[in-house]
Homo-oligomer: A and B are copies of this chain.
Amino acid sequence: MLETLGKRAKAASRILMTATTDQKNNALTAIAAAFEANAAKILAANKEDLAAAEANGMSGAMLDRLRLNDARVAALSDAMRQVAALDDPVGKTLDGTTRPNGLVIEKVSVPLGVIAVIFEARPNVTAEAAALCLKSGNAVILRGGKEAFRSNAAITAVMREAIERTGLPADCVQLVTDTSRESAAALMKLSGYVDVLIPRGGAGLIRACVENATVPLIETGTGNCHIYVDDSADPDMAVNVIYNAKVSRPSVCNACESLVIHSAAANEVLPRIKAKLDAAGVVIHGDDRTAAILPDVIPATEADYGKEYLGYEISVRVVDSIEDAVAHIMQYSTGHSECIITQSYAHSQYFLSHVDAAAVYVNASTRFTDGGEFGFGAEIGISTQKLHARGPLGLRQLTSEKYLIRGNGQVR
Protein backbone atom coordinates (compact mmCIF):
# COMPACT_ATOMS: atom_id res chain seq x y z
CA MET A 1 0.00 0.00 0.00
CA LEU A 2 2.68 2.53 1.00
CA GLU A 3 4.91 1.01 -1.67
CA THR A 4 2.23 1.86 -4.24
CA LEU A 5 2.30 5.47 -3.04
CA GLY A 6 6.08 5.37 -3.21
CA LYS A 7 6.09 4.13 -6.79
CA ARG A 8 3.56 6.74 -7.86
CA ALA A 9 5.50 9.48 -6.12
CA LYS A 10 8.74 8.40 -7.78
CA ALA A 11 7.06 8.37 -11.20
CA ALA A 12 5.54 11.82 -10.61
CA SER A 13 8.87 13.16 -9.35
CA ARG A 14 10.59 12.13 -12.58
CA ILE A 15 8.19 14.40 -14.49
CA LEU A 16 8.15 17.20 -11.93
CA MET A 17 11.98 17.15 -11.85
CA THR A 18 12.12 18.69 -15.33
CA ALA A 19 8.96 20.82 -15.15
CA THR A 20 9.48 24.48 -15.97
CA THR A 21 8.96 27.27 -13.47
CA ASP A 22 5.87 28.32 -15.41
CA GLN A 23 4.34 24.85 -15.17
CA LYS A 24 4.88 24.73 -11.41
CA ASN A 25 3.57 28.27 -10.88
CA ASN A 26 0.51 27.54 -13.02
CA ALA A 27 -0.25 24.56 -10.80
CA LEU A 28 0.16 26.68 -7.66
CA THR A 29 -2.14 29.46 -8.86
CA ALA A 30 -4.68 26.85 -10.01
CA ILE A 31 -4.58 25.38 -6.51
CA ALA A 32 -5.13 28.85 -5.01
CA ALA A 33 -8.25 29.31 -7.16
CA ALA A 34 -9.42 25.77 -6.39
CA PHE A 35 -9.20 26.38 -2.64
CA GLU A 36 -11.46 29.40 -3.11
CA ALA A 37 -13.90 27.49 -5.33
CA ASN A 38 -13.99 24.52 -2.95
CA ALA A 39 -13.92 26.34 0.38
CA ALA A 40 -17.32 24.97 1.41
CA LYS A 41 -16.22 21.38 0.79
CA ILE A 42 -12.99 21.86 2.77
CA LEU A 43 -14.82 23.57 5.67
CA ALA A 44 -17.42 20.80 5.78
CA ALA A 45 -14.70 18.16 6.10
CA ASN A 46 -12.98 20.25 8.77
CA LYS A 47 -16.23 20.55 10.68
CA GLU A 48 -16.44 16.77 10.89
CA ASP A 49 -12.84 16.59 12.13
CA LEU A 50 -13.60 19.23 14.76
CA ALA A 51 -16.75 17.47 15.95
CA ALA A 52 -14.89 14.16 16.31
CA ALA A 53 -11.96 15.85 18.06
CA GLU A 54 -14.22 17.63 20.52
CA ALA A 55 -16.04 14.38 21.23
CA ASN A 56 -12.63 12.81 21.95
CA GLY A 57 -11.82 15.63 24.39
CA MET A 58 -9.19 17.51 22.38
CA SER A 59 -7.93 20.59 24.23
CA GLY A 60 -8.66 24.18 23.21
CA ALA A 61 -5.21 25.03 21.84
CA MET A 62 -5.14 21.85 19.76
CA LEU A 63 -8.68 22.46 18.52
CA ASP A 64 -7.64 25.93 17.42
CA ARG A 65 -4.76 24.51 15.39
CA LEU A 66 -7.15 22.05 13.77
CA ARG A 67 -9.83 24.64 12.99
CA LEU A 68 -10.33 26.13 9.52
CA ASN A 69 -12.69 29.00 8.67
CA ASP A 70 -13.25 31.27 5.67
CA ALA A 71 -10.32 33.50 6.58
CA ARG A 72 -7.98 30.54 7.05
CA VAL A 73 -8.94 28.96 3.73
CA ALA A 74 -8.35 32.34 2.09
CA ALA A 75 -4.95 32.39 3.80
CA LEU A 76 -4.17 29.02 2.21
CA SER A 77 -4.89 30.49 -1.23
CA ASP A 78 -2.66 33.46 -0.41
CA ALA A 79 0.11 31.08 0.67
CA MET A 80 -0.09 29.25 -2.68
CA ARG A 81 0.25 32.53 -4.58
CA GLN A 82 3.14 33.60 -2.37
CA VAL A 83 5.00 30.36 -3.07
CA ALA A 84 4.34 30.85 -6.80
CA ALA A 85 5.94 34.30 -6.52
CA LEU A 86 9.13 32.93 -4.93
CA ASP A 87 12.26 32.30 -6.95
CA ASP A 88 12.49 28.77 -8.40
CA PRO A 89 15.35 27.06 -6.53
CA VAL A 90 15.88 24.41 -9.24
CA GLY A 91 18.35 24.69 -12.11
CA LYS A 92 20.70 27.20 -10.52
CA THR A 93 24.38 26.87 -11.38
CA LEU A 94 26.00 26.56 -7.97
CA ASP A 95 29.60 26.15 -9.02
CA GLY A 96 31.59 25.36 -12.13
CA THR A 97 35.09 24.79 -13.40
CA THR A 98 37.00 23.68 -16.46
CA ARG A 99 39.59 21.07 -15.61
CA PRO A 100 43.09 20.99 -17.14
CA ASN A 101 42.02 18.09 -19.39
CA GLY A 102 39.19 20.18 -20.84
CA LEU A 103 36.31 18.61 -18.89
CA VAL A 104 33.70 21.25 -18.09
CA ILE A 105 32.22 20.47 -14.65
CA GLU A 106 29.08 22.34 -13.59
CA LYS A 107 27.25 21.86 -10.30
CA VAL A 108 23.52 22.61 -10.56
CA SER A 109 20.63 22.51 -8.10
CA VAL A 110 18.08 19.74 -8.64
CA PRO A 111 15.03 18.57 -6.69
CA LEU A 112 15.54 16.08 -3.89
CA GLY A 113 13.00 13.75 -5.56
CA VAL A 114 10.36 12.40 -3.19
CA ILE A 115 9.88 14.09 0.18
CA ALA A 116 7.84 12.49 2.94
CA VAL A 117 6.43 14.82 5.58
CA ILE A 118 5.04 13.45 8.84
CA PHE A 119 3.18 16.06 10.86
CA GLU A 120 0.51 16.62 13.45
CA ALA A 121 -3.10 17.79 13.21
CA ARG A 122 -2.67 21.13 11.43
CA PRO A 123 -4.46 21.20 8.07
CA ASN A 124 -2.62 24.35 6.92
CA VAL A 125 0.65 22.40 7.06
CA THR A 126 -0.80 20.00 4.49
CA ALA A 127 -1.27 22.71 1.88
CA GLU A 128 1.86 24.69 2.69
CA ALA A 129 4.25 21.72 2.77
CA ALA A 130 2.80 20.43 -0.50
CA ALA A 131 3.19 23.84 -2.14
CA LEU A 132 6.84 24.17 -1.09
CA CYS A 133 7.60 20.65 -2.34
CA LEU A 134 5.83 21.34 -5.66
CA LYS A 135 7.68 24.60 -6.25
CA SER A 136 11.02 22.92 -5.51
CA GLY A 137 10.20 20.12 -7.98
CA ASN A 138 9.65 17.41 -5.38
CA ALA A 139 6.79 14.93 -5.20
CA VAL A 140 5.46 14.78 -1.65
CA ILE A 141 3.92 12.04 0.47
CA LEU A 142 1.99 13.64 3.34
CA ARG A 143 1.18 11.80 6.51
CA GLY A 144 -0.79 14.10 8.79
CA GLY A 145 -2.28 13.51 12.21
CA LYS A 146 -5.40 11.36 12.23
CA GLU A 147 -7.50 14.07 13.92
CA ALA A 148 -7.18 16.18 10.76
CA PHE A 149 -7.69 13.35 8.31
CA ARG A 150 -10.94 14.51 6.71
CA SER A 151 -9.60 18.06 6.32
CA ASN A 152 -6.34 16.78 4.85
CA ALA A 153 -8.18 14.49 2.45
CA ALA A 154 -10.35 17.38 1.22
CA ILE A 155 -7.35 19.71 0.84
CA THR A 156 -5.21 17.19 -1.03
CA ALA A 157 -8.11 16.16 -3.29
CA VAL A 158 -8.55 19.80 -4.33
CA MET A 159 -4.80 20.17 -4.86
CA ARG A 160 -4.47 16.98 -6.91
CA GLU A 161 -7.36 17.91 -9.17
CA ALA A 162 -5.92 21.39 -9.79
CA ILE A 163 -2.41 20.05 -10.43
CA GLU A 164 -3.68 17.50 -12.93
CA ARG A 165 -5.78 20.12 -14.71
CA THR A 166 -2.61 22.17 -15.38
CA GLY A 167 -0.87 19.15 -16.92
CA LEU A 168 1.36 17.89 -14.10
CA PRO A 169 0.74 14.49 -12.44
CA ALA A 170 -1.80 14.47 -9.60
CA ASP A 171 0.63 12.16 -7.76
CA CYS A 172 2.94 15.11 -7.15
CA VAL A 173 0.84 15.36 -3.95
CA GLN A 174 -0.31 12.24 -2.14
CA LEU A 175 -1.84 11.72 1.29
CA VAL A 176 -1.32 8.56 3.34
CA THR A 177 -4.88 7.47 4.09
CA ASP A 178 -3.88 5.00 6.78
CA THR A 179 -3.28 7.15 9.86
CA SER A 180 -2.14 4.33 12.14
CA ARG A 181 1.23 4.40 13.89
CA GLU A 182 2.23 1.48 11.68
CA SER A 183 1.81 3.53 8.53
CA ALA A 184 4.08 6.25 9.92
CA ALA A 185 6.66 3.61 10.85
CA ALA A 186 6.46 2.08 7.37
CA LEU A 187 6.88 5.50 5.74
CA MET A 188 10.11 5.99 7.72
CA LYS A 189 11.48 2.83 6.12
CA LEU A 190 10.32 3.39 2.53
CA SER A 191 13.87 3.22 1.15
CA GLY A 192 14.14 3.36 -2.60
CA TYR A 193 11.14 5.66 -2.89
CA VAL A 194 11.52 8.36 -0.25
CA ASP A 195 14.61 10.52 -0.74
CA VAL A 196 14.13 12.63 2.37
CA LEU A 197 11.85 12.46 5.42
CA ILE A 198 10.95 15.66 7.24
CA PRO A 199 9.08 15.20 10.51
CA ARG A 200 7.26 18.26 11.81
CA GLY A 201 6.04 18.05 15.36
CA GLY A 202 6.99 17.49 18.96
CA ALA A 203 10.10 15.91 20.40
CA GLY A 204 8.42 12.48 20.57
CA LEU A 205 7.71 12.39 16.84
CA ILE A 206 11.26 13.54 16.00
CA ARG A 207 12.73 10.91 18.32
CA ALA A 208 10.59 8.16 16.76
CA CYS A 209 11.82 9.17 13.31
CA VAL A 210 15.49 9.26 14.37
CA GLU A 211 15.20 5.85 16.00
CA ASN A 212 13.30 4.13 13.21
CA ALA A 213 13.93 5.83 9.89
CA THR A 214 16.09 4.11 7.31
CA VAL A 215 15.49 6.90 4.78
CA PRO A 216 17.56 10.09 5.00
CA LEU A 217 16.03 12.41 7.57
CA ILE A 218 16.16 16.06 8.51
CA GLU A 219 15.59 16.56 12.23
CA THR A 220 13.56 19.66 12.95
CA GLY A 221 12.24 21.85 15.56
CA THR A 222 13.35 21.09 19.09
CA GLY A 223 14.45 24.40 20.54
CA ASN A 224 15.86 24.71 24.05
CA CYS A 225 16.91 28.29 23.30
CA HIS A 226 19.06 30.32 25.72
CA ILE A 227 19.63 34.02 26.18
CA TYR A 228 22.86 34.95 27.97
CA VAL A 229 22.94 38.35 29.63
CA ASP A 230 26.58 39.41 29.69
CA ASP A 231 28.13 41.61 32.39
CA SER A 232 28.33 44.36 29.77
CA ALA A 233 24.69 44.03 28.65
CA ASP A 234 22.43 47.05 28.31
CA PRO A 235 19.85 46.26 31.02
CA ASP A 236 16.92 47.77 29.10
CA MET A 237 17.77 45.75 26.00
CA ALA A 238 18.21 42.58 28.05
CA VAL A 239 14.79 42.97 29.69
CA ASN A 240 13.10 43.81 26.42
CA VAL A 241 14.63 40.97 24.36
CA ILE A 242 14.05 38.34 27.04
CA TYR A 243 10.45 39.40 27.48
CA ASN A 244 9.87 39.21 23.73
CA ALA A 245 11.66 35.88 23.26
CA LYS A 246 9.78 34.25 26.17
CA VAL A 247 6.33 35.78 25.96
CA SER A 248 5.52 36.77 22.37
CA ARG A 249 4.68 33.15 21.44
CA PRO A 250 5.78 30.65 24.08
CA SER A 251 4.54 27.53 22.21
CA VAL A 252 7.01 27.75 19.32
CA CYS A 253 10.50 26.31 18.94
CA ASN A 254 12.32 29.66 18.72
CA ALA A 255 10.94 30.89 22.05
CA CYS A 256 13.45 31.40 24.87
CA GLU A 257 13.42 28.59 27.43
CA SER A 258 16.43 29.46 29.59
CA LEU A 259 18.15 32.56 30.84
CA VAL A 260 21.86 32.56 31.71
CA ILE A 261 23.09 35.69 33.42
CA HIS A 262 26.47 37.01 34.52
CA SER A 263 26.74 37.48 38.29
CA ALA A 264 27.83 41.10 37.78
CA ALA A 265 24.56 41.84 35.98
CA ALA A 266 22.23 39.64 37.99
CA ASN A 267 21.57 41.97 40.93
CA GLU A 268 20.37 44.77 38.71
CA VAL A 269 18.76 42.91 35.83
CA LEU A 270 17.12 39.84 37.37
CA PRO A 271 14.56 41.77 39.48
CA ARG A 272 13.58 43.83 36.43
CA ILE A 273 13.20 40.74 34.26
CA LYS A 274 11.19 39.03 36.96
CA ALA A 275 8.80 41.95 37.26
CA LYS A 276 8.01 41.80 33.52
CA LEU A 277 7.79 38.01 33.41
CA ASP A 278 5.59 37.93 36.53
CA ALA A 279 3.17 40.28 34.86
CA ALA A 280 2.92 37.83 31.94
CA GLY A 281 2.45 34.87 34.27
CA VAL A 282 5.82 33.23 33.56
CA VAL A 283 7.03 30.76 36.22
CA ILE A 284 10.77 31.06 36.98
CA HIS A 285 12.92 28.05 37.89
CA GLY A 286 16.24 29.35 39.25
CA ASP A 287 19.47 28.03 40.76
CA ASP A 288 20.61 28.95 44.31
CA ARG A 289 22.27 32.14 43.15
CA THR A 290 19.08 33.21 41.40
CA ALA A 291 17.13 32.44 44.56
CA ALA A 292 19.52 34.64 46.56
CA ILE A 293 18.39 37.57 44.43
CA LEU A 294 14.79 36.49 43.74
CA PRO A 295 13.76 34.71 46.94
CA ASP A 296 10.44 33.35 45.70
CA VAL A 297 11.61 31.45 42.57
CA ILE A 298 11.12 27.69 42.26
CA PRO A 299 14.43 25.78 42.55
CA ALA A 300 15.66 24.68 39.12
CA THR A 301 16.45 20.98 38.73
CA GLU A 302 18.82 19.43 36.22
CA ALA A 303 15.72 18.48 34.22
CA ASP A 304 14.63 22.12 34.04
CA TYR A 305 17.81 23.11 32.22
CA GLY A 306 17.23 20.39 29.64
CA LYS A 307 13.57 21.19 29.13
CA GLU A 308 11.80 22.85 26.21
CA TYR A 309 8.88 24.22 28.25
CA LEU A 310 6.89 25.51 25.24
CA GLY A 311 4.87 27.51 27.73
CA TYR A 312 4.98 30.20 30.39
CA GLU A 313 8.04 28.86 32.24
CA ILE A 314 11.75 29.69 32.14
CA SER A 315 14.91 28.40 33.82
CA VAL A 316 17.62 30.74 35.13
CA ARG A 317 21.29 30.14 35.94
CA VAL A 318 23.81 32.67 37.27
CA VAL A 319 27.42 32.31 35.97
CA ASP A 320 30.70 34.13 36.57
CA SER A 321 32.09 34.38 33.05
CA ILE A 322 31.19 34.15 29.37
CA GLU A 323 33.16 30.89 29.24
CA ASP A 324 30.90 29.39 31.91
CA ALA A 325 27.85 30.71 30.09
CA VAL A 326 28.90 29.09 26.81
CA ALA A 327 29.77 25.82 28.60
CA HIS A 328 26.30 25.77 30.17
CA ILE A 329 24.62 26.54 26.86
CA MET A 330 26.58 23.89 24.95
CA GLN A 331 25.68 21.34 27.62
CA TYR A 332 21.93 21.86 27.24
CA SER A 333 21.53 23.36 23.75
CA THR A 334 19.46 21.57 21.14
CA GLY A 335 21.37 23.49 18.46
CA HIS A 336 18.46 25.73 17.51
CA SER A 337 18.89 29.41 18.50
CA GLU A 338 21.16 30.93 21.15
CA CYS A 339 21.62 34.61 22.04
CA ILE A 340 23.99 36.91 23.89
CA ILE A 341 23.04 40.39 25.09
CA THR A 342 26.29 42.31 25.33
CA GLN A 343 28.02 45.62 24.64
CA SER A 344 31.43 43.96 24.48
CA TYR A 345 32.91 43.39 21.01
CA ALA A 346 35.19 40.63 22.32
CA HIS A 347 32.32 38.81 24.02
CA SER A 348 30.11 39.04 20.94
CA GLN A 349 32.89 37.47 18.84
CA TYR A 350 33.55 34.78 21.43
CA PHE A 351 29.87 33.86 21.60
CA LEU A 352 29.39 33.77 17.82
CA SER A 353 32.38 31.49 17.27
CA HIS A 354 32.07 29.20 20.31
CA VAL A 355 28.34 28.51 20.36
CA ASP A 356 27.45 25.73 17.95
CA ALA A 357 23.81 26.18 16.90
CA ALA A 358 21.80 26.82 13.74
CA ALA A 359 21.33 30.49 14.66
CA VAL A 360 23.56 32.46 17.03
CA TYR A 361 22.36 35.94 17.95
CA VAL A 362 23.91 39.09 19.33
CA ASN A 363 21.40 41.56 20.78
CA ALA A 364 18.21 40.30 19.13
CA SER A 365 15.31 38.03 20.02
CA THR A 366 15.63 34.30 19.22
CA ARG A 367 12.12 34.58 17.79
CA PHE A 368 13.63 35.67 14.45
CA THR A 369 14.71 32.12 13.56
CA ASP A 370 12.02 31.66 10.95
CA GLY A 371 12.00 31.30 7.17
CA GLY A 372 9.88 34.39 6.69
CA GLU A 373 12.00 36.52 9.03
CA PHE A 374 15.20 35.31 7.31
CA GLY A 375 13.79 36.39 3.95
CA PHE A 376 13.21 32.87 2.58
CA GLY A 377 9.53 33.60 1.92
CA ALA A 378 8.35 30.39 3.53
CA GLU A 379 9.68 27.39 5.40
CA ILE A 380 8.83 23.74 5.93
CA GLY A 381 10.53 23.57 9.34
CA ILE A 382 13.72 24.47 11.22
CA SER A 383 16.59 22.03 10.90
CA THR A 384 18.48 21.34 14.13
CA GLN A 385 20.88 18.83 12.61
CA LYS A 386 24.15 19.64 10.91
CA LEU A 387 23.79 17.57 7.75
CA HIS A 388 22.37 19.17 4.61
CA ALA A 389 20.99 22.36 6.10
CA ARG A 390 20.66 24.13 9.42
CA GLY A 391 18.01 26.59 10.50
CA PRO A 392 14.90 27.46 8.48
CA LEU A 393 14.25 25.07 5.58
CA GLY A 394 13.10 27.18 2.68
CA LEU A 395 12.82 26.26 -0.99
CA ARG A 396 16.57 26.25 -1.51
CA GLN A 397 17.01 23.70 1.29
CA LEU A 398 14.53 21.39 -0.49
CA THR A 399 16.98 20.88 -3.34
CA SER A 400 19.97 18.64 -3.90
CA GLU A 401 22.73 19.08 -6.47
CA LYS A 402 24.20 17.20 -9.36
CA TYR A 403 27.35 17.53 -11.40
CA LEU A 404 27.00 17.90 -15.16
CA ILE A 405 30.25 16.98 -16.91
CA ARG A 406 30.71 17.83 -20.57
CA GLY A 407 33.67 16.41 -22.44
CA ASN A 408 34.85 15.46 -25.89
CA GLY A 409 36.03 11.93 -25.33
CA GLN A 410 38.25 12.32 -22.24
CA VAL A 411 39.46 9.10 -20.63
CA ARG A 412 41.49 8.62 -17.49
Contact = CB atoms under 8 A, between A and B. Distances in A.
Contacts of A405: 359-362, 364, 368
Given A241-B409, A365-B411, A354 B18 contact: yes
Residue among A18, A99, A390, A404 having the largest count of chain B Cβ atoms under 10 Å: A404
A57 B407 CA distance: 44
Given A103-B364, A359-B402, A391-B403, 16 more contacts: A14-B356, A17-B356, A99-B374, A105-B374, A113-B386, A241-B411, A248-B411, A348-B406, A352-B404, A359-B403, A364-B405, A364-B406, A364-B409, A369-B403, A387-B400, A390-B403
Contacts of A99: 373-375
Interface string A362-394: 111101110001110000000001111111000
Interface of A: 14, 17-18, 97, 99, 103, 105, 110, 112-113, 191, 195-196, 210-211, 214, 216-219, 234, 237, 240-241, 243-245, 248, 330, 348, 352-354, 356-365, 367-369, 373-375, 385-391, 400-412
A358 to B, nearest CB: 6
Contacts of A248: 411-412
12 contacts: A18-B353, A191-B210, A244-B412, A248-B411, A359-B403, A360-B404, A360-B405, A362-B405, A364-B405, A365-B412, A373-B412, A388-B388
A236 to B, nearest CB: 8
Consensus secondary structure, chain A interface: mixed
A237 B409 contact: yes
A352 B405 CA distance: 9
B234 A112 contact: no
Nearest to A374: B105
A365 B103 CA distance: 10
A357 B218 CA distance: 21
Contacts of A112: 386-387
